[in-house]
Amino acid sequence: MAEYAWARELCRQSESACPAEVLEELMAAPECQAFGPVHHFLTGAALLVAGSNAGFAGDLEAELDELAERAACVPGGACARWGVCGAAASCGMALAIAQDNAPLKAEGWSETQLMVADLLEKIARSGAPRCCKRDARIAVRAAMPWFERALGVRLALPTEEPVCAVSAQNTACMGEACPYHG
């Protein structure tokens, strides 16, 4: 999708096996909006890229194509309107794509559902209201062990915690209550 062309180029350039680092690379791009549905692609993409860089033998280009198509169906504000954070949904989409899940395929179906439930709980417990950057960071970190087990790879751990660069743009920022607030 042309909408994510800049992100896909960064995905191709990344050599990191750490999804959290890939996510930060993507979110630091000047084209990345501070908030909004772009995070519904970036979050899952970070996991797929890191998994590929860690040795998962999928077709990354095809996976990113499919993720872009699915992510486009999740509107901004899904967290409030649907009760499902788009970052958690993105992780679920990415794992489902990597495992070639299908509605009637038994393998992987339950694990993906359980992962998304785990991510949603962690995001919900982080506090309200929404912050796309915070929620994407939480989702990627919490999804890592699920991806490692499902894909049989070892993902690299983040070497440092990021400091939010957009908190001043977020009128609903939780400030010091956010683990990424500077």
Whether 117 maps to a domain, the answer reads: yes
Query: Within 13 Å and on the Cβ side, how many CA atoms surround 149?
Result: 8
What type of residue is 27? Answer: M
Confidence of residue 102 (pLDDT cuts 50, 70, 90): confident
Q: Which of 130, 118, 126, 117 is nearest to 178 (CA)?
A: 126
Residue with tokens 């909006």: 33
Question: Does the pLDDT at position 140 exceed 60?
Answer: yes
Whether 182 maps to a domain, the answer reads: no
Residue with tokens 């996510």: 23
pLDDT of residue 3: 78
Structural domains of the chain, count: 1
Whether 58 maps to a domain, the answer reads: yes
Whether 54 maps to a domain, the answer reads: yes
Whether 29 maps to a domain, the answer reads: yes
Contact yes or no for 119/79 (Cβ under 8 A):
no
Whether 173 maps to a domain, the answer reads: yes
> CA-based diameter of the chain, in Å?
45
Mean pLDDT of 134-162: 96
Domain range for 173 is 2-177
Whether 25 maps to a domain, the answer reads: yes
Mean pLDDT of 13-27: 98
Confidence of residue 148 (pLDDT cuts 50, 70, 90): very high
Question: Does the pLDDT at position 128 exceed 90?
Answer: no
Mean pLDDT of 135-145: 98
Confidence of residue 1 (pLDDT cuts 50, 70, 90): low
Average pLDDT, the chain: 94
